[in-house]
Amino acid sequence: MHLDERMSDFIRQRRAYRQGRELPLKDLRIIDLSTVVAAPFAATLLGDFGAEVIKIENPTLPDATHAWGVLKGGIQPWWSVVSRNKLPVTLNLKAPEGAKIFADLVVKSDVLIENMRPGALDRLGFTAELTLQACFRMRMN
């Protein structure tokens, strides 16, 4: 399925689920750059309460939950649980284009959830100072 079709399906499902509901976090945008279970599940819970959650995946190293207990037909139960209510986007943060898209998303978002090793975002050029400046600018606008 093409990305545009997947996004359309996601948006349609999200609208149907939320139709007639006033969820408390509906005005928040969350960037989920985390992997495995704990941090992604935190982002999932924020999505359950109405936040828009954008899940960023590494194209060369997808989240491990894709491979956990894959069922007949390729169904990925763990991935389905920890990634519900999320719009999945694959970005190579080491490539200039991917880094720019990510930086633009951070500026337009309220929360960044990540569980990388200490210094990993710094090495990619996303220092804490730059991220805080982006968030501060967003809050002031």
Is it the case that residue 5 has pLDDT exceeding 70?
Answer: no
CATH number at 21-140? 3.40.50.10540
The pLDDT, as a whole number, for residue 141 is 40
First to last CA, the chain: 37
The pLDDT, as a whole number, for residue 29 is 92
Please give the mean pLDDT across all residues of the chain: 79
Is it the case that residue 135 has pLDDT exceeding 50?
Answer: yes
The pTM of the full predicted model, rounded to 2 decimals, is 0.74
101: pLDDT confidence band, cut at 50, 70 and 90?
very high
Tokens 């500026």: give the residue: 107
Q: What is the pLDDT of residues 82-99, one digit of tens each?
A: 788 889 899 999 999 999
Is it the case that residue 137 has pLDDT exceeding 60?
Answer: no
**Alpha-helical regions (H) of the chain:** 3-18, 38-48, 77-82, 96-107, 120-123, 128-140
Q: Specify the 3-state DSSP secondary structure of 52.
A: strand
The domain limits of the chain are 21-140
- The answer to whether residues 36 and 65 touch, using CB atoms and an 8 Å cutoff, is yes
The CA-atom distances, in angstroms, between 59 and each of 3, 26, 29, 34, 91 are 14, 29, 22, 14, 6
Is it the case that residue 62 has pLDDT exceeding 50?
Answer: yes
Is it the case that residue 34 has pLDDT exceeding 80?
Answer: yes
Rg (the chain; Cα; Å): 15
